[in-house]
Structure 1
Amino acid sequence: MEGLRDRLSRPRDTVARWIALTTMAAMLASLALNGVVSVFGGVWARPPLMETGLMEKAAAITRIIDSVPPAQRAAIAAAASDQDFSSQWLPHYEDAHLPAIEDPTFRTGSALLRRLLSRPDASIEAYEPADWPSGAASSRYALMIELSDRSWVMYSVPTRSWGLGELPRNLIIIALILSSTMVVALIATRHLAGPLERFAQGARRFGTDFRAPPIPVIGPQEIRQAILAFNAMQAQIQHFLHDRTQMLAAISHDLRAPLTRMRLRGEFIEDAEQQSRLFRDVDEMQAMVNSALDFFRDDARLEEATAFDLAQLLQTVVDDFKDAGAEVTFHGPNRLVYMGRPIGIKRALVNLVENAVKYGREPEVYLEAHAEHVLIQVKDRGPGIDSELHEKVFTPFFRVEGSRNRTTGGVGLGLSAARATVLEHGGTLSLHNRRQGGLEARVVLPLG
């Protein structure tokens, strides 16, 4: 009883059940459609020479011809003929000039004709156009029925108009079965694919917008369980981000206070050199604290995703550097609409262009639109970075010796923040040395 209750309590709307039901429904639909076609399409589904009424017509004419004197038979046969059906009385079998074939017996219709003629011993033969020699002008469908006095009546038609051949019939049945199966499969897949598409859209939306609403719990049991787990994870991440923001705000306040006190106490140091060193250390610590807090807090990550002109945003970044005295060139289209967080992307691009301006020469920005992604390249003609450090430079607080120092500024968080923003958009950020010297920062952002 417990096992039966467990089976009854299991959810019925599952992927496994839908697959099984789809298979059964497709098979039943195919069988039902085949049966309907066989019943209502009987004219073309029957064997040759078995159209409804054709055998009865031949039997009636044969009985009439057999009941009259031989002198009248030819006239009656001619009178029974029309444009599509020819009947002819022949005193002798040889007068028909029929081809010689191995078995001329009309197997499918002989029994019916003998019963209609009331002559169980009547000889009946049938011929098809394929029985005549190739290219013969006299090729036709012919039906030979023997009369009681051993004469014959021949019925013939030039073409078969009472149904389709075996191959066309089979092809039509196969096409109808495939069509019914496809209809059933499409209905089932739409029921399954709809929740999966909404699940995927919700996951992508949360990847670009941490404040995205939960995904509606709709679909088969397995998909609903996955959506519930994702919504729970989304809620935990949102709660974590909120707590982290509050914590970092408190840390920011607590760290600035002792740094301010250290600077005030430094004012009482009489040794000017020691005082200058202390102030430099305090300023560096203040810059590191501010940069770290900005990186970890990064309110732009909570920015809502929206459609914006990526080409115009890049042009604005380039113009800002030009206003500051840096000769940066832009190559790309005048307009390119992209769906994402414009503030976060702008910060990432500013960091990349700033590195190219600060540590290289001839900075250039390229924008290219492809079918499935957008490519952004920030190039310079500087000293570049050793290939073994291309990944390490994205580590927080890592600085390449010789290119960054306390004088030029920077605490090693610019590239880390830029890659984090690109990854949150589902893209990639990588560095590549140029052949003739210099560095290329390559950003790939997916479309759709």
Structure 2
Amino acid sequence: MKALPDWRTRLRRAHDTVAGWIALTTLLAMLTSLALNGAFSLLAGVWARPPILETGLMEKVATIGRIINAAPASQRANIADAAADKTFNVRWLLRHDDAHLPAINEPGFSDGQALLRELLEMPQASIEAYDPDDWGSQYVERPYVLMLQLADGSWLQFSVPTRKWGLDPFKRNLVVLILALISTLIVVLIATRHLATPLERFAEGARRFGKDFRAPPIAVVGPHEIRQAILAFNAMQAQIQHFLNDRTQMLAAISHDLRAPLTRMRLRGEFVEDAEQQSRLFRDVDEMQSMVNSALDFFRDDSRLEPATDFDLAELLLTVIDDFKDAGVDVAYTGIGRLVYNGRPVGIKRAVVNLIDNAVKYGLEVSVELDTLPDWVEICVKDRGPGIAPELQEQVFAPFYRIEGSRNKHTGGVGLGLSAARATVLEHGGTLTLGNQPGGGLEVIVALPLN
């Protein structure tokens, strides 16, 4: 008895997998194609009926012909009238001329003569066929007519009202093929949508987590393989969030422990009598304090925990530029006046400030450009400074790396601005690249995805 529940469990698991859905899609596509083909054959109407040889009329003609051929001459007319129905008319005629048929050269019925003679069991029977094209314009009615000569020389006339009798085999097969393709496409779209929706949610959740470390877990839905991937991602997300929280607490403790001895060093420096030595000591303490604060701000970077939101990127750039102008630094802006972007505005603002600040310190004629591409938005910060040698353009992103040897406050920061800016851009799924302009100066391009 245990075997039955085991098989049910296995069948349920197989049905809820990607492979199971592919097999089910193939089966449903085939069944749907057959169903549409049957509906087409039954309900499409007169225009789609098969050729006359495939309708069963030939068998009916042969049956009526054998009955009338065996009946006495006095009863044949009545039997013919009784055999007529909505499909076709039947008349018994003593002479061929009584049918008043059009004069044509070959009234034969090459496609069905052999079949009809075999069904009649009359190998030598005379059979003639006329279609609407054989009748002249003087005839009001131009039906299909089949003439069959009986054993005594009399004739049976079978006539079908004029109509377009069916599609030719090529057109009918083409319709069936189109229906099969349509049915397969419909089933495939439904099945792929069932598979694609969990994957889209998975991808959207991964992108959301890249922009917001506090994003909620992804809903566990979809086939078995996709659910396993989502569970693994949610577990990884929880571990990263736990690591970030632990790191924030650790850095807060380090910040407190490092500031305390620096404060004591400054207090002791107040008792140094040599003014020159005291000045040097205070300068070293201030530089160490600046380096410690910058390093802690870089590693802690609370903006990385900022939730993603929609904001006007163009307005944010203009606000940063206005702040620099208020400080007496002229920064030009070109680009669109409004662009709604989803991201962390504080982090992006800090990155842009770092880039503009570097351009102001090391160059002239600083400008900011904002441009949009089909799937990306580009922020370009340019200056007319010395630029950066190509072989150093990647090294400058390393933390604490600076091209010049000094690290005091008169020549810039501690070498963390570009590192922090690139980290923010990468967390948004974008890129930050450097390049020298043809006329001199550095060009920093920030490319952020719009989706």
Match of 2:29 among 16, 26, 30: 26
Normalised by the length of structure 1, the TM-score is 0.83
- For the aligned residue pairs, the C-alpha RMSD in angstroms reads 3.9
Q: Does the 8 Å CA contact 1:50/1:109 hold for their aligned counterparts?
A: no
Q: CA deviation at 1:5?
A: 8.4
**1:395 match:** 398
How many residues are aligned here? 428
**1:90 match:** 96
CA distance in 2, matches of 1:271, 1:243: 44
Q: Does 1:192 align with 2:192?
A: no
Q: CA deviation at 1:25?
A: 1.8
Q: CA deviation at 1:130?
A: 10
CA distance in 1, matches of 2:345, 2:220: 30
Q: Does 1:334 align with 2:341?
A: no
Percent identity of paired positions between Structure 1 and Structure 2: 64
Seen in structure 2, the aligned counterparts of structure 1 residues 377 and 323 have a Cα distance that, compared at 3 Å, is: same
CA distance in 2, matches of 1:386, 1:225: 47
Seen in structure 2, the aligned counterparts of structure 1 residues 444 and 149 have a Cα distance that, compared at 3 Å, is: same
CA distance in 2, matches of 1:101, 1:110: 13
Where in structure 2 are the equivalents of 1:115-264 lying within 5 Å? 122-126=125-129, 143-150=146-153, 160-264=163-267
Q: CA deviation at 1:100?
A: 8.9
Match of 2:274 among 243, 251, 271: 271
Superposed CA deviations along residues 246-270 of structure 1, whole A, max 9, x for unmatched, are 0000000000001111111122222
Match of 1:323 among 322, 326, 336: 326
- Where 2:323 maps in the other structure, the secondary structure is helix
Of residues 393-402 and 431-440 in structure 1, the stretch that sits farther from structure 2 once superposed is 393-402
Q: CA deviation at 1:106?
A: 2.6
CA distance in 1, matches of 2:90, 2:393: 92
Seen in structure 2, the aligned counterparts of structure 1 residues 42 and 315 have a Cα distance that, compared at 3 Å, is: closer
Q: Does the 8 Å CA contact 1:311/1:333 hold for their aligned counterparts?
A: yes
Show structure 2 runs of 5+ residues with no match: 136-141
Q: CA deviation at 1:58?
A: 10
CA distance in 2, matches of 1:221, 1:400: 53
**1:135 match:** none
Q: Which amino acid aligns with 1:189?
A: T
Seen in structure 2, the aligned counterparts of structure 1 residues 205 and 308 have a Cα distance that, compared at 3 Å, is: same
**1:431 match:** 434
Q: Does the 8 Å CA contact 1:431/1:440 hold for their aligned counterparts?
A: yes
Seen in structure 2, the aligned counterparts of structure 1 residues 240 and 154 have a Cα distance that, compared at 3 Å, is: same
CA distance in 2, matches of 1:219, 1:391: 42
**2:297 match:** 294
CA distance in 2, matches of 1:334, 1:283: 41
**1:282 match:** 285
Match of 2:382 among 379, 383, 406: 379
Where in structure 2 are the equivalents of 1:95-110 lying within 5 Å? 96-99=103-106, 103=110, 105-110=112-117
Q: Which amino acid aligns with 1:217?
A: V
Q: Which amino acid aligns with 1:98?
A: N
CA distance in 1, matches of 2:245, 2:128: 94
CA distance in 2, matches of 1:404, 1:97: 110
Seen in structure 2, the aligned counterparts of structure 1 residues 27 and 361 have a Cα distance that, compared at 3 Å, is: same
Superposed CA deviations along residues 217-257 of structure 1, whole A, max 9, x for unmatched, are 11111011000000000000000000000000000000000
Q: CA deviation at 1:55?
A: 7.6
Q: CA deviation at 1:150?
A: 4.4
Match of 2:50 among 27, 46, 51: 46
Q: CA deviation at 1:102?
A: 11
- Where 1:407 maps in the other structure, the secondary structure is helix
**2:139 match:** none
Q: Does the 8 Å CA contact 2:303/2:347 hold for their aligned counterparts?
A: yes
Seen in structure 2, the aligned counterparts of structure 1 residues 273 and 109 have a Cα distance that, compared at 3 Å, is: farther
Q: CA deviation at 1:277?
A: 1.6
Match of 1:366 among 356, 364, 369: 369
Q: Which amino acid aligns with 2:365?
A: E
CA distance in 2, matches of 1:41, 1:120: 37
Seen in structure 2, the aligned counterparts of structure 1 residues 108 and 265 have a Cα distance that, compared at 3 Å, is: farther
CA distance in 2, matches of 1:95, 1:248: 107
Seen in structure 2, the aligned counterparts of structure 1 residues 288 and 3 have a Cα distance that, compared at 3 Å, is: farther
Q: CA deviation at 1:390?
A: 0.7
CA distance in 2, matches of 1:156, 1:5: 65
Q: Does the 8 Å CA contact 1:91/1:152 hold for their aligned counterparts?
A: no
Of residues 329-338 and 265-274 in structure 1, the stretch that sits farther from structure 2 once superposed is 265-274
Q: CA deviation at 1:197?
A: 1.1
Q: Which amino acid aligns with 1:265?
A: R
Q: Does the 8 Å CA contact 1:58/1:155 hold for their aligned counterparts?
A: no
- Where 2:432 maps in the other structure, the secondary structure is strand
Q: Does the 8 Å CA contact 2:90/2:156 hold for their aligned counterparts?
A: no
Seen in structure 2, the aligned counterparts of structure 1 residues 161 and 68 have a Cα distance that, compared at 3 Å, is: farther
Match of 1:445 among 432, 443, 448: 448
Seen in structure 2, the aligned counterparts of structure 1 residues 40 and 420 have a Cα distance that, compared at 3 Å, is: same
Q: Which amino acid aligns with 2:444?
A: A
Q: Does 1:420 align with 2:423?
A: yes
Seen in structure 2, the aligned counterparts of structure 1 residues 321 and 86 have a Cα distance that, compared at 3 Å, is: farther
CA distance in 1, matches of 2:278, 2:114: 120
Of residues 283-292 and 153-162 in structure 1, the stretch that sits farther from structure 2 once superposed is 153-162
Q: CA deviation at 1:152?
A: 5.9
Seen in structure 2, the aligned counterparts of structure 1 residues 157 and 363 have a Cα distance that, compared at 3 Å, is: same
Q: CA deviation at 1:407?
A: 1.4
Q: Which amino acid aligns with 1:418?
A: A
CA distance in 2, matches of 1:405, 1:196: 51
- Where 1:218 maps in the other structure, the secondary structure is coil
